[in-house]
Amino acid sequence: MNSPHQISLDDWEIRYHRLKAGGLNEPWYGGPLSRHAGRGDKRLLSLRFDNSPPALRLWNFLLTEEERLHQARAAGGKIVGAMKDLGTAAVMAFSLPNVTAFYPDGAWWVPCIMEQGTGDLEVADALGIDESFCPVRAMLGAFVRGAHFPRPDLLVCSVGATCDDFSAIAQRLSSLGYPILWWEAPHRRRAEAGEAAVDLPGGLAAPAAQVRFVRRQLELVRAGLEELTDRKLDDALLAEGIAQANQFRRLLGELRRLAYTRVPCPLGALEMLVAEMLAIHFCSDRAEAIVVIGQLLDEVRRRSALGLGVLDECAVPVFWVNPVADLKVMNILEECGGRLCGSEFLFSHALDEIPADIEPLEALARTALADPMVGPASDRAERICRECRRFGAKAVVISRIPGASHCATESDIIADMVRNRLDLPTVEIEVPPICDADAPGIRTRLEALIESARQRT
């Protein structure tokens, strides 16, 4: 039971009580995972989880965010909803004391976790944001119903070179009386001849003029945060906020390196997906996120040193593009004989360290411009190819999000580059918030991909 493996929620119930009897030490949000299912997170009943205490802590951290936000409100803190940019505004907000940032867009997982029985999607439907939009439309229902998170004191949202559907959803939210501080992210382009260029994180570059523009936009965000808190967000605070964010990113980077390369695979795809998602907004508690990810890394290091893992040694390394609306699919990948060996979940700029040797706002502007969603799909494809090489991928899954506007055209661009440069088998799947009805087709595609990869080796 103590050796690494994946277990059901029922198994965790038994294991939890044994661990507690053995002296398991937990933070305030600890407890058996089954309680979340009892409160409505029914999808957990279908998942298989890593059986380690650090994984338990990761899941409990994820599934208690709502309580954390309400606690912050009750303690008199300010709550900032950082929408769309996935990793810059949240870093700024957390730089101020007594401010908690969260990611309202994250409500897109709620229909999955709660097996759709929330009413959030129905509210979005009634507001004209129907299923032709990305499942992130659940956010609209969450706001209107006052469910899942308290009403933020400030909403910050990037627009411009972002998803069309998300812009439409955010504008609908604004029209309903939720004031939003908009800031604009331009479409990242390459510098023209004679135009000054600036290096960005992730091996990218952009014209200096674009970086200056984004910096001016982030000045607006800074001013909004200062107005909210009646406190100056000076460079020293920002630098410390960046240092903390980078500490998290370094830990996550090492976790990815080990989890994606070690044989046998020391940590499953599901926990890696959740761990990476923390990079966007630290699950509303930056300091605790660092502890959670640090403990997970310690466990993975321990397993790697002992040659232990959760999957068969012959599991085929698969690189995954785009996050899934239904967490179950990450289990399905492993049931089909694959293992996660890299990911590009649309927020790679939140994984790369923010430059610490330049002025903080300049560093954040460069990071914001490195957002994979504000640049050409070919830039994403380049990074995916690099990471496939780095992690030794033998196949690539491009997971489409139903209704997501960025998925409409980029899949072919990514798949073509992967095939042409790496000659890896690639498959495209579409994952709705609950994939049970589509599971046979998804399984067939994933199994066929893994069969193809095995034939080549």
For tokens 């802590």, the residue is 57
In the complex with another protein, the residue whose CB is nearer, 46 or 452, is 452
Confirm or reject binding of residue 335 to another protein (CB under 8 A). no
Confirm or reject binding of residue 314 to another protein (CB under 8 A). no
Single residue of 70, 145, 216, 456 touching another protein by CB under 8 A: 456
Confirm or reject binding of residue 331 to another protein (CB under 8 A). no
Under 8 Å between Cβ of 269 and 328: no
Confirm or reject binding of residue 399 to another protein (CB under 8 A). no
Under 8 Å between Cβ of 57 and 131: no
| Short-list 347, 329, 451, CA closest to 395 | 451
Single residue of 426, 431, 433, 434 touching another protein by CB under 8 A: 426
CB of residue 133 to another protein, shortest distance in Å: 18
Confirm or reject binding of residue 441 to another protein (CB under 8 A). yes
CB of residue 237 to another protein, shortest distance in Å: 50
Confirm or reject binding of residue 455 to another protein (CB under 8 A). yes
In the complex with another protein, the residue whose CB is nearer, 91 or 418, is 418
In the complex with another protein, the residue whose CB is nearer, 46 or 247, is 46
In the complex with another protein, the residue whose CB is nearer, 214 or 381, is 381
| Whole-Å CA distances, 114 to 94, 107, 194, 241, 250 | 29, 11, 54, 33, 32
In the complex with another protein, the residue whose CB is nearer, 298 or 451, is 451
Confirm or reject binding of residue 22 to another protein (CB under 8 A). no
Count of residues near another protein by CB under 8 A: 19
| Strand pairing category for 49-50 and 6-7 | antiparallel
Under 8 Å between Cβ of 296 and 255: yes
| Short-list 355, 452, 350, CA closest to 397 | 452
CB of residue 420 to another protein, shortest distance in Å: 11
Q: Which stretch binds another protein (CB under 8 A): 92-100, 111-119, 169-177, 433-441?
A: 433-441
Confirm or reject binding of residue 206 to another protein (CB under 8 A). no
In the complex with another protein, the residue whose CB is nearer, 23 or 440, is 440
Polymer length in residues for the chain:
457
CB of residue 151 to another protein, shortest distance in Å: 38
Q: Rounded to whole angstroms, how far apart are CA atoms 290 and 269?
A: 20
Q: Which stretch binds another protein (CB under 8 A): 24-32, 198-206, 278-286, 435-443?
A: 435-443
Confirm or reject binding of residue 131 to another protein (CB under 8 A). no
Tokens of 34: 């089954």
Tokens of 99: 């401010």
Single residue of 219, 412, 420, 436 touching another protein by CB under 8 A: 412
Confirm or reject binding of residue 388 to another protein (CB under 8 A). no
Confirm or reject binding of residue 427 to another protein (CB under 8 A). yes
Q: Which stretch binds another protein (CB under 8 A): 30-38, 250-258, 341-349, 446-454?
A: 446-454
Confirm or reject binding of residue 451 to another protein (CB under 8 A). yes
CB of residue 428 to another protein, shortest distance in Å: 7
CB of residue 431 to another protein, shortest distance in Å: 12
CB of residue 230 to another protein, shortest distance in Å: 53
Single residue of 26, 184, 254, 428 touching another protein by CB under 8 A: 428
Single residue of 81, 106, 425, 433 touching another protein by CB under 8 A: 425
Single residue of 46, 261, 295, 452 touching another protein by CB under 8 A: 452
Single residue of 85, 334, 387, 430 touching another protein by CB under 8 A: 430
Q: Rounded to whole angstroms, how far apart are CA atoms 242 and 365?
A: 12
Interface residues with another protein (CB under 8 A)? 412, 415, 419, 425-428, 430, 438, 440-441, 444-445, 447-448, 451-452, 455-456
